[in-house]
Amino acid sequence: MPLIKVAVLDDYQGVALRMANWSSLDGRAELTVFNDHVSELDAVVERLAPFEVVCAMRERTPMGRPLLERLPNLKLIVSTGARNASIDLVAAKGLGITVCGTGYVNHGAAELTWALIMAAAKYIPQEHASVHAGGWQTKISKDLKGSTIGIVGLGTVGASIARYARAFEMHVIAWSANLTEAKAAEHGARLVSKAQLFRDADIVTLHLVLSERTKRVVGAAELASMKPTALLVNTSRGPLVDEAALIDALSKNAIGGAALDVFDAEPLPPGHPLRLLPNALTTPHIGFVTEQTYKVFYQDSVEAILAWLDGRLVRRMN
């Protein structure tokens, strides 16, 4: 029997093969790991054309109908995580392509969110750069104790942020379309309107699932209503924020700054304004990039491929 060809995509750190035991696929599959990223449609098609199985790392390589229709050999997509908005599940089903997900470790995003809040509030990147350049103190940091954090979306990650904030003796307010007073109170937060949250918060942090309803939930109006000293933090998904409006606000110093792990286009293009603005603290979508998470992602990917090869049930995405 010919070996099944398996592509492991976007392994930026070159760790996929050591994060899981792939030996169970020996004699059954031929692995090809790609450490670089290609985004142009024809280039992606050329790369993936030979493969029956593709292991996708989150939304790094979108898989819409125009791509899937040009991959007649593709039979299985294993995407890390429980959901992937960049895969056209309807198109995949119609083309006979099985799509399945993996388990997930959800503390990484909350931990990074808090790291970004601390780094932005205490001007850690700037002071680090000053010391390395031979200088010394240049900034006066913001106090977290007694300040107000506004959490947009009080799900698993948002609830963790509320817990961290209470440990720092902050006032916690929250809003989302379906949030109730009881649910907010359960996590030590006070439910407010969206308008009040953006007006009153010293730090606004976003923790919503991206959908048509939540896309651009933060636009020019919300940014204009924020305090001129307030910080906007986004570790969820780039399109939750109107990026052009945010760049405009940062360029005019209309808000105190932004700490961002996610963007409309990823990887962020060279020369993009968010790479250059001094009041934008940026990280390259690393909220989920932790050792525990990667071990779950890649080992579950191996198990999913084995289940598919054996004709067993796989964790299908809906």
How far apart CA 101 and CA 113 sit, in angstroms, is 24
Catalytic hit among 58, 60, 187, 237? 237
SS3 state at 7: strand
Whether omega before 267 lies within 30 degrees of 0, making that bond cis, reads yes
Catalytic hit among 70, 199, 266, 272? 266
**How many residues in total does the chain contain?**
318
Note if 207 is an active site residue: no
Catalytic hit among 58, 243, 285, 303? 285
Q: 76, 97 in Cβ contact below 8 A?
A: yes
CA angle 281, 276, 261 (to 5 degrees): 35
What does residue 57 show for φ and ψ, rounded to 5 degrees? Answer: -90, 100
**Percent helix, strand and coil across the chain, each rounded to 5?**
35, 15, 45
Long-range contacts of 113-118 (CB under 8 A, 24+ apart): 113/157, 113/161, 113/205, 113/207, 113/233, 113/235, 113/261, 113/287, 114/161, 114/164, 116/233, 116/235, 116/259, 116/261, 116/281, 116/283, 117/144, 117/149, 117/203, 117/205, 117/231, 117/233, 117/259, 118/144
State the Rg of the chain over Cα. Answer: 21
H or E element in which residue 56 lies: strand 53-56
Note if 285 is an active site residue: yes
Note if 37 is an active site residue: no
How far apart CA 302 and CA 22 sit, in angstroms, is 6
Q: 225, 198 in Cβ contact below 8 A?
A: yes
Strand order in the sheet with 190-191: 190-191, 171-175, 148-152, 203-206, 231-234, 257-260, 280-282
Q: Would you please indicate which residues are annotated as catalytic (active-site) residues? A: 237, 266, 285
